[in-house]
Chains A and B, each alone.
Chain A
Amino acid sequence: GEDVEQSLFLSVREGDSSVINCTYTDSSSTYLYWYKQEPGAGLQLLTYIFSNMDMKQDQRLTVLLNKKDKHLSLRIADTQTGDSAIYFCAEMRGATNKLIFGTGTLLAVQP
């Protein structure tokens, strides 16, 4: 199908690690992205990974890509209350470089 899929909700305790998962559909996608949306705000790019990579680390963020299974994950180490937000994965498809977004995962961080 056409959909990029994510679970809708994740709850973690402050200080724990969070893992947000995403499955995408187009094996020819060149770039995959993670965006964060805080309440009442637009989307902010967190990180991206090129499709020939299988891991990327950026401070507390680790992105894992399993191209065979078309599975992308975002791990947030030492999760803080300020990480509470909706997280969207997106894949870049086609000659027009359109971004196809997932449904978003609401991350709730409990103190």
Chain B
Amino acid sequence: DVKVTQSSRYLVKRTGEKVFLECVQDMDHENMFWYRQDPGLGLRLIYFSYDVKMKEKGDIPEGYSVSREKKERFSLILESASTNQTSMYLCASRGGGPGTDTQYFGPGTRLTVL
């Protein structure tokens, strides 16, 4: 059974703190993604990675960085959290190749920045 796990379901942090969101997949997928989900805006891509140590900016990378040291793990980092980063963060992974390959999503981390 496919599995994408995220380290926390709920997280509360203070403005200015450094925040790490961890995502692990057990499907040996090359591609991993971080999205944020906000009401009325759908999902927006923050960063993605198509291989270990490779990363590409998505549509809204400002204020975020990522790390992919191992194939199964993709971390999203908020260097200095701000209140406008309060959101639901969703991680996904996908096998190689276009088309019918499914993006499998984790359960999400709801981050609140006070």
Contacts and interface: CB of A to CB of B under 8 A. Distances in A.
A42 B42 contact: no
A17 interface: no
A4 B42 contact: yes
A45 interface: yes
A40 interface: yes
Interface of A: 4, 6, 8, 30-31, 35, 40-45, 48, 50, 88, 90, 92, 96-104
Given A48-B100, A101-B42, A103-B42, A96 B56 contact: yes
Interface in B28-66: 35, 40-45, 48, 50, 56, 58
Dominant SS among interface residues on chain A = strand
A31 B57 CA distance: 22
B111 to A, nearest CB: 15
A42 B58 contact: no
Given A41-B107, A42-B90, A31 B100 contact: yes
Contacts of B103: 43, 45, 99
Best-buried of A41, A44, A88, A101 by chain B (most CB within 10 Å):
A101
A41 B108 CA distance: 7
Contacts of A45: 102-104
